[in-house]
Structure 1
Amino acid sequence: MYKYLFVALFLCSTIVSAQQITVLDADSGEEIANVAVFNKDKSKIALTNFDGVFDAAVFMDKERITLKHIGYQEFKTTRLQLQRQGHKAFLIMKAQQLDEVVMSVSKWEQQKRDIPNRIISLDARSIAFTTPQTAADLLQNSGKVFVQKSQMGGGSPMIRGFATNRLLLTVDGVRMNNAIFRGGNVQNVISIDPFTIKNTEVIFGPGSVIYGSDAIGGVMNFYTNKPMLSQNDSILLHGNTNYRFASANMENTVHADINLGKKTWSSLTSITYNNFNDLRMGAHGPDSYLRNTFVRTVNGVDELVENNSPKKQVPTGYDQINLMQKFLYKPKAKWDLNLGAYYTETSDYSRYDRLIRPTSDGLGLRSAEWYYGPQKWFMGNAQLQKKGDGKVYDGLKLGLAYQHFEESRINRDFQDEVRNTTKEKVDAVNFTVDFENKKLGDFRLYYGSEYIYNKIGSTGFDLNINTNERTAAASRYPDDSSWQSLAGYVNGEYKAKPNFTIMSGLRYSHVWVDAIFDDTFYDFPFETADLSTGALTGSIGFSWFPRANLQVTLNGSTGFRAPNIDDVGKIFDSEPGSVVVPNTDLEPEYAYNVEVGVQRNINDKIILKGTAYYTYLVDALVRRDFSFNGFSEIEYGGELSNVQAIQNAAKAYVYGFEFGVEAYLTEQWSLSSNLTLTEGIEEEDDGTETPARHAAPTFGDFHVVWKNQRLRTDLFMNYNGEIANDDLAMSEQSKEYIYAVDENGNPYAPSWYTLNFRSQYDITNRFKVTGSLENFTDQRYRTYSSGIVAPGINLIIGVGYNF
């Protein structure tokens, strides 16, 4: 009796399992969720779950069924064929992603094909393949964003001739830019953990209609992984573990995350730890890049010592830890409550470009110490989303976020007993409300408002390293100052025809700056900074498909940047030979941009993309000569320095071209290439023109990719064009110590290239290994405006397991 019962149960389980079909990515072998499966008249429908599995029992053996997903080519088969193929279906990703859904342009899901802006999207799969060390490297690996580095613990993106506080960073919809984002290079992007990123979207050109101040050159949106709910009554347990090693800086990185989910709630916990040692540069390149000497301090005495390994950049190593905790609560189908906590902290990390700065006689080094204290970032984020049922909306999002930033600068001149420290803290609150209205036929309306409040704490002190005597010193910014903004926007999308979509929007922002200057250390010619200013920005553009395989876009937009605390109140920040002082008489700067784009799909085999743009910046906030209490030069740090300040003192125009090609030769072989050309000019009030500082050199890449269901390889070249001495910005020409020297003895940025190879192999669907050999010809090069020399030959090994 029991024998027959056992046989019956075995047969039943076999029959049930025989109806379970797993849908996989033909390239990566990863399971694909949310694949729709249906018969000819759609009377029978199934949907793959998180594990990419659907139940085929509803279909007949020889019944024709279709598998459809927005990101993949449609696939038709029968249940019998799938059973013969091991109960698996493999989908091929679409050659072009015009049907891709993006979030960044309106904060709501839109079809990429309807958007007139140039926007790129980097998904978790492509990020995992390139194995970036930091989020800055993630952007650089795209081949479409230029990244400058002053030290290894850094990365300052440049987009269309703009950088730093003229670009906007957001994480899960919350702006990371704060009131002390400076015109100099910023490193805040490294606080974002690449292991937690689900998708990154980059908008090229102004995005101020949706994002407000700072979104002049572009917007970089990082969307992190979300907790996953269980599709049934059982608990969903899912996780990932990763390890990465890189030989150029002896990197060791470990990561782990775990998801615990029920039907109505879920939790996601993530942790990543990075350890980077000193970075080794390449063997073939300018000798001036070598680190021949460095300063060593023994018993309080500085000495200049010879570096026995001049290709090792001493000191550049640092550690970093990233933590993330998220909760999702979904009590009803139309309600989502997302709670997130993020924390990042680095160790101290050296400002390498300051440590290699020579003395005026060129015989020694100016600084004995110059490093950043721990860079800390915390964000608590609550987002409530409702879909449908509103009288004037179909979607509602409420967002409330609190962020805390900490940073510090520590420096001491060679053989000086006094070490100066400045510490900054920013507390930032963001409140947003956003609506989506789809009730208007072919017209969609997006509208909302935003309030931002930043509170700045800034202190300074001097410490005698021999006596440990501590004395008060000037802070970098006015302590207890504030920056706040209130804004409202409306953005519309009208599908005039199935092949023609128009988008347009307006935003008004008002900004207040409040600061009180402490005259304990300096006799300021003012006591307070009390700014109240507004800005109106707009955009209009269209996306047109004259043919199914040809897209034409045209977009005009304006952007603005309101003065922040760094512009108004920076207190004596030194540059070689100059010192920057506060200026309370500032107004917003405005950018006017127009761009045209063309994309052509040739038989789903070749995709050609091109964009041309022109941006004009007026009332530009730039650093220019100034007077302080009637003096154009003052003594600062023991050196007679030229006085400068941030002023609305210039205009600028930037234009350029962005090209891309993708060629799918066979199912296994493909080619891709990107090329970006940028020209930027700053124009003074007297008509004098000089090269723009953040106009990157011509840069691009070329990839040859081979793949099958388990293995993917990529042989590629990265390259940068030369910037001659005459084309260097004046501020860059004064930094001779980071540039090579041309035949006339003048600094310039040489061209360079690297040859690289990366691969990923899926041992199983859950266990993957990656191997890369970057710069295998061991070139010695610096990317433009960077203080640190790029890595030499670099072996990277990664291991990942998901369960």
Structure 2
Amino acid sequence: MKFLARVIMTTRIFFLLFLLGLQLISAQEISVLDQDSREPILNVAVFNLDKSKTVVSDFDGKCDLSIFDRNERITFQHISYEIRKSTKAQIQRQKRKIYLTLKAEQLDEVIMSVSKWEQQKKDIPNKIASIDAREIAFTNPQTSADLLQNSGKVFVQKSQLGGGSPMIRGFATNRLLLSVDGIRMNNAIFRGGNIQNVISIDPYTIKNTEVIFGPGSVIYGSDAIGGVMNFYTKKAEFTTSDSLAFSGNANYRFASANTENTLHFDFNVGKRKWAFFTSASYNNFSDLKMGQDGPDTYLRNTYVTQRNGQDELVVNNTPEKQISTGYNQINLLQKIAYKPNNNWRYDLGLHFSETSDYSRYDRLIRPNTDNTGLLSAEWFYGPQKWFMSKLQINKKGKGLFYDGLKITAAYQRFEESRNNRDFQDLIRNRTKENVDAISANIDFENKRIGDLRLYYGTEYIFNRVGSKGNQQNIETNIISNAASRYPDGATWQTVAGYIKAEYKAKPNFTLLSGLRYSHVWIDAVFDKTFFPFPFDDAKLDNGALTGSIGLSWFPKADLQITWNGSTAFRSPNIDDVGKVFDSEPGSVVVPNPDLEPEYAYNTELGIQKNFADKVVLKGATFYTYLVDALVRRDFQFNGQSQIEYYGELSNVQAVQNAAKAYVYGFELGLEAFLTDNLSITSNLTITKGIEEEADGTDSPGRHVSPTFGDFHIVWKNQKLKVDAFLNYNGKIDFEDLAPSEISKAYIYAVDTNGNPYSPSWHTLNLRSQYAISNALKATLSLENITNQRYRSYSSGIAAPGINLVLGLGYRF
């Protein structure tokens, strides 16, 4: 018995020593993490001064420092990150975590948007701008439209504060494709006029944004003529152990130009197999104040208000204040992820966004016919709502025909309304629209055929449009039915299949090619109660074959040449076929059921030269030819060129396949890394475009932006980053304005001949970010320091004047 007791005692001692050893070993284990994303970094080399002791971080960013002395100087080095030095004692005081900062010149990015699977950016022939979470956190944008504009590579038009319509390579609105987590937001009523759906995406939830310049129809189908903007939101993150992990963020933003107050929080709860990510943001914006130095025609000298039930035109005592432009917005996001093993992953995402009512400012400043006052007493959008639920199943492993499989199903609900009332008119006109959109995708990746990788899949999309119209007497509150904007119950659907191939012919030469066939159906029945349409319905049934081929070639390690040729198409949607609305003063657009798809043919050439990892020059030139272009032109309705619309005799117009167009341009970029702390970046975009009519006449393209660019001088260290930069836009003379822009002369400045034109402008700006601690960061920006008064081309609202922006972000 004594022997047995000694054995038990000895065993306990050894067990206690073993546990103590484990504790000592775990105390020596540290985590190497990304400074901004807090994600683990693989393959970080950790060594002492003479490199006699070396370890490497594993897949979870962990490494064991037991071979190092407590106060020995240790270096952490990774090809993509700035070098960091510390001691084991310091790291242990920081909860055994060390954070590395990504190098500014890190160019070997992974891109998702081109094939829906991860590809190296260097192998892709398309020009792509990637904006990641750390850049978004630094620029601290007000909306996702501003996020795109801050890149310096995308031009953004605004008709009101609650908006932002990107223009890429001479195309905009329904000729650009917008997607969130790979799900297209473009729906059956995306219009040719400026749209503001991009503001439904919360910039605080974006992990990465990828902008494809040029056609993307092979992967995304209809609408992707000028480019694709894909927003990837943050995922629910798992842990590597069974213990529960909790992390999150809290943010506040203030801007002085519109007294913005924004609050945001998110948190992630994760275990080995389950993870939950929750996010909420609230924005409140007051009326926007423009700058002091610029054209007086931009001033808001008068506005309409109601006194004792009567409309009155009153003088604005602060004409730089754009009454009324303020609104508020809420964004919610919930993600749930389940990973039973390393091969399967299930992701559910729920997105919701809702705005308050917000004014369409460019309509509120429109003068009446005799130019003695304002035409509208009210013109506002009702709450813009967007809901999306998405379920995606990911499978890795060796399938019979694939190495990766994604099955995605999504449902979206869009709601919007338009409300307007003329000055001293008792009738408020309202149209309310909603779209129910469902989609299903199956996407495959096959990378087992030597140097060839294949991507292929199928897609089905169905949209149903609801549309109602009414008129309300604001004195009696009596509501009566009126014409709807679209045929109620109209449907738009498409089915498609695609295949894309990436072939690495040599280590320095990659070929990409793809084909897609899409078929589109439209079914719309017209209500003749308010308009005697000369047709009963519109039934469109058409198909489109698109393709692309491109190459990426490194003749030298520091020189890249890319070329890409592609086609794209846009099939008519319900907005093209069945809309009734007032497009501009004195004009009304009516349905046209006899439409065909428009096609684009594009080629582009790019070059990138790296000079000793110190200077990187980029350049691209492109040419796009559009045939059977869907454009709004004069039309005959029942043999009449004019009809009465809401009590006004209006010229009749309709969308028609009435034009051809060509757009060409140049895009230049510079990145110069002068020292470890100082760098310079710059972008310049020059675009030209012409629309050719069927009768041989031509005119400037409506969505061709002026020359624009930026120039940044950036200084940073481990705690502080400062960016002094210049934004600039070129002039568009009267003779270079599109006819539809000339008809909106009231939003433009006036030249010496009394004609409207878009002046050039520039702003000086300063942006900074300071890491108070690893958890707390502060941003401070001063925009438009010289207080310029300007409007971006085609914008109805003037840009902010001098603007102080403050931000705080806390990570827990």
Q: Is TM > 0.5 for Structure 1 vs Structure 2?
A: yes
2:429 pairs with one of 420, 424, 427: 420
In structure 2, distance between residues paired with 1:591 and 1:90: 47
Cα distance change on mapping 1:13 and 1:757 into 2, 3 Å? farther
Counterparts in 2 of 1:798 and 1:82: CA distance versus 1, 3 Å: closer
The aligned counterpart of 1:246 is: 255
Could you tell me whether the CA contact under 8 Å between 1:18 and 1:83 is conserved in 2?
no
Matched, 1:713 2:732: no
- Unpaired runs of 5+ residues, structure 2, are 1-12
Report if the CA contact (8 A) 1:453-1:483 is conserved. yes
Aligned to 2:7: none
Q: Please say if 1:211 is aligned against 2:191.
A: no
2:392 paired residue number:
383
Which residue is equivalent to 1:36?
43
1:37-80 CA-to-partner distances (Å, cap 9, x unmatched) read 4699999754264xx5533348899999996767437x699997
Residue of structure 1 in register with 2:366 after alignment: 357
- Give 3-state SS (helix, strand or coil) of 2:575's partner: helix
Aligned partners of 1:41 and 1:194: how far apart in 2? 46
Q: Does 1:140 align with 2:146?
A: no
CA contact (8 A) 1:478 1:571 kept: no
Match of 1:296 among 302, 305, 316: 305
1:407 matched to which residue of 2?
A: 416
Are 1:47 and 2:58 matched, yes or no? yes
Give 1:100 shift: 0.8
**1:286-365 equivalence runs, <5 A:** 286-365=295-374
Matches within 5 A, 1:675-714: 675-714=684-723
Work out whether 1:127 is the aligned partner of 2:143. Answer: no
Report the 3-state secondary structure (helix = DSSP H, G, I; strand = E; otherwise coil) of the residue aligned with 1:241. strand
Corresponding residue for residue 641 of structure 1 = 650
Which is further off, 221-230 or 298-307?
298-307
For residues 593 and 282 of structure 1, do their structure 2 counterparts lie closer, same or farther at Cα, with a shift above 3 Å needed? same
Secondary structure of the structure 2 residue equivalent to 1:353 = helix
- The total of aligned residue pairs comes to 794
1:84 Cα deviation after fit: 11
Change (3 A) 1:83 1:291: closer
Equivalent residue for 1:430?
Answer: 439
Alignment correspondent of 1:488: 497
For 1:232-631, list aligned pairs within 5 A.
Answer: 232-631=241-640
**Residues 1:61 and 1:78: Cα distance change in structure 2 (over 3 Å):** farther
| Contact 2:37–2:134, Cα closer than 8 Å, also in 1 | no
1:569–1:582: 8 Å Cα contact kept in structure 2? yes
State percent identity of aligned pairs. Answer: 67
Contact 2:168 2:213 in 1 (8 A): yes
Q: Which amino acid aligns with 1:270?
A: S
1:181 corresponds to which letter in structure 2? F
User: What is the alpha-carbon distance in structure 1 between the residues aligned to residue 719 and residue 225 of structure 2?
Assistant: 42
Q: CA deviation at 1:655?
A: 0.3
Cα distance in 2 for partners of 1:205, 1:85 equals: 51
State the distance in 1 between where 2:388 and 2:783 align: 34
- How far apart in 2 are the matches of 1:523 and 1:204? 43
CA RMSD of aligned residues (A): 2.6
Distance between the aligned counterparts of 1:663 and 1:144, measured in 2? 17
In 2, are the aligned partners of 1:32 and 1:48 still within 8 Å (CA)?
Answer: no
Which residue of structure 2 lines up, in the alignment, with residue 117 of structure 1?
126
Query: Once the two structures are superposed, what CA deviation does each residue of 1:312-366 show, in whole Å capped at 9, x if it has no partner?
Result: 0000000000000000000010101000111000000000000000011111000
- Return the offset for 1:727: 0.4
- Following superposition, the deviation at residue 16 of structure 1 comes to 4.4
**What is the CA–CA distance in structure 1 between the aligned matches of 2:299 and 2:552, rounded to whole Å?**
50
Deviation at 1:83, TM superposition (A): 7.1
What letter is aligned with 1:113? K
SS for the counterpart of 1:536 is strand
What is the rounded CA distance, in whole Å, between the counterparts of 1:216 and 1:361 in structure 2? 41
Aligned-partner SS, 1:227: coil
- Mean alpha-carbon deviation: is it higher for 81-90 or for 492-501? 81-90
> Does the CA contact (< 8 Å) of 2:32 and 2:57 recur in 1?
no
Separation in 2 of the partners of 1:187 and 1:30? 29
Amino acid at match of 2:40: A
Q: Which amino acid in structure 1 is aligned with residue 662 of structure 2?
A: Y
Asked whether the 8 Å contact 2:131–2:210 carries over to 1, the reply is: yes
User: CA 1:284/1:123 → structure 2, altered by over 3 Å: closer, same or farther?
Assistant: same
Q: Which residue of 2 aligns with 1:225?
A: 234
CA distance in 2, matches of 1:314, 1:10: 70
Amino acid in structure 1 at the alignment position of 2:632: R
Aligned: 1:725 with 2:714 = no
User: SS state of the match for residue 47, structure 1?
Assistant: coil
Question: Are 1:799 and 2:808 counterparts?
Answer: yes
Q: 2:663 aligns with which of 654, 657, 675?
A: 654
Aligned to 2:166: 157
Q: What is the CA–CA distance in structure 1 between the aligned matches of 2:386 and 2:452, rounded to whole Å?
A: 40
Q: Counterparts of 1:22-101 in structure 2 under 5 Å?
A: 22-23=31-32, 31-37=38-44, 46-47=57-58, 49=60, 53-57=62-66, 71-72=80-81, 91=100, 93-101=102-110
Q: Deviations over 1:645-668 (max 9, x none)?
A: 000000000000000001101111
Question: Does the aligned pair in 2 maintain the 1:407–1:425 contact within 8 Å?
Answer: yes
Tell me if structure 2 keeps the 8 A contact 1:269–1:326: yes
Match of 1:186 in 2: 195
The 2-side partners of 1:248 and 1:659 are apart by 31
Asked if the contact 1:70–1:100 (Cα under 8 Å) also holds between the matched residues in 2, the reply is: no
Matched, 1:770 2:779: yes
Alpha-carbon distance, 1:633 to partner: 1.5
Tell me, in whole angstroms, the C-alpha distance in 2 between the residues paired with 1:476 and 1:76: 60
- Following superposition, the deviation at residue 710 of structure 1 comes to 0.3
Task: Specify the code of the residue in structure 2 equivalent to 1:357.
Answer: R
Residues 281-313 of structure 1 deviation map (CA, whole Å, 9 limit, x = unaligned): 001100110000000012321110001111100
CA deviation map 1:425-475 (0-9, x unaligned) = 100001000000011010000000000000000000000000111110000
Q: Hey, what's the Cα distance between the residues in 1 that align with 2:443 and 2:388?
A: 20
The DSSP-based 3-state class of the residue aligned with 1:421 is strand
Greater mean alpha carbon deviation, residues 774-783 or residues 636-645 = 636-645
Shift of the alpha carbon at 1:154?
A: 0.3
Tell me if structure 2 keeps the 8 A contact 1:653–1:681.
yes
- Structure 1 residues 683, 70: CA separation in 2 closer, same or farther (over 3 Å shift)? farther
Cα gap change, 1:464/1:388 in structure 2, threshold over 3 Å: closer, same or farther?
same
CA drift of 1:21 comes to 3.5
Select 2:176's aligned residue among 147, 167, 170: 167
2:119, 2:627 → 1: CA distance? Answer: 32
Counterparts of 2:597 and 2:630, CA distance in 1? 8
> Residue 98 of structure 1 contacts residue 111 of structure 1 at CA under 8 Å; is this kept in 2?
no
Deviation of 1:22 after TM superposition, in Å, equals 4.4
In structure 1, the partner of 2:770 is: 761
Structure 2 CA distance, aligned partners of 1:775 and 1:79? 44
1:379 & 1:88 partners in 2: Cα distance?
37
Structure 1: stretches of 5+ with no match in the other structure: none
Q: Could you tell me how far apart the structure 2 residues matched to 1:90 and 1:405 are?
A: 41
What TM-score comes out, normalization by structure 2 length? 0.94
Which residue identity does 1:35 align to in structure 2?
A: L
